[in-house]
Amino acid sequence: MKIKKYLKLLVLPFTALLIPLKTLAVCPVCTLAVIGGVELSRWLGVDDTISGIWIGALIVSLSLWTINWLRKKNIRFLFRKIIVFIFYYAITILTLYWKKMVFYKTCSKIWGYDKLIVGIVFGSIAFTIGFWLNEWLKRKNNGKVYFPYQRVVVPIILLLVASIIFHFITKCDPLQKFGL
């Protein structure tokens, strides 16, 4: 009798892994994924500004996703949008700080600022412009997209352009030799 009971206790968690469930990304998981991504990109030799570009895009994307989710659930509170953005930026940057990836003397810098922070700023701007550009293109075409996955492709193209630009900036930055 006891063997069956223990067998059920062992088998039940593993069968739960086989059942497809709807999953929602939550901030701590995404933030840990960002940390892992930064470490992997450093290991692969990707510059921190380029990693930061994609982190900034992730933060904006998660913020917009959360704001939309709150709207659909009819959850309203004062300064909802601003609070969501501040929350995601704060938790990401604080985690990077606690892992000593930003705001430390050993961090790589560009123009006197941490490369990850510079990348996050420019990535956030690029993703936001891509989001607005997609909305503008849809309005121009009577609410329809010009091509499949336009909502994804337009911001990604801007992020790729920003990554390429920063690739050349960081490779050719003369002040970088002096740690500035």
Question: 172 in a domain, yes or no?
Answer: yes
What are 66-98's pLDDT values in tens digits?
888 888 888 888 898 899 999 999 988 888 888
Comparing 35-49, 59-73, 82-96, 166-180, the range with the smallest average pLDDT is: 166-180
**pLDDT given for residue 4 in this prediction:** 55
Question: 109 in a domain, yes or no?
Answer: yes
Give the chain's domain count.
1
What are 123-156's pLDDT values in tens digits?
999 989 988 998 899 999 988 888 888 888 888 8
Residues 121 and 109: their CA atoms lie apart, in Å, by: 14
Domain membership of residue 159 as a residue range: 26-178
- Out of 3-12, 27-36, 105-114, give the one with best mean pLDDT: 105-114
At residue 117, does pLDDT exceed 50?
yes
Residue 34's pLDDT band (cuts 50, 70, 90):
low
At which residue do the structure tokens 């998981």 appear?
29
Pick the residue with more confidence: 113 or 177? 113
CA-to-CA dists, residue 40 to 37, 118, 125, 150, angstroms:
5, 19, 24, 29
Phi-psi domain of 79 (left: phi exceeds 0; alpha: psi -120 through 50; beta: other): left
Question: 8 in a domain, yes or no?
Answer: no
Question: 48 in a domain, yes or no?
Answer: yes
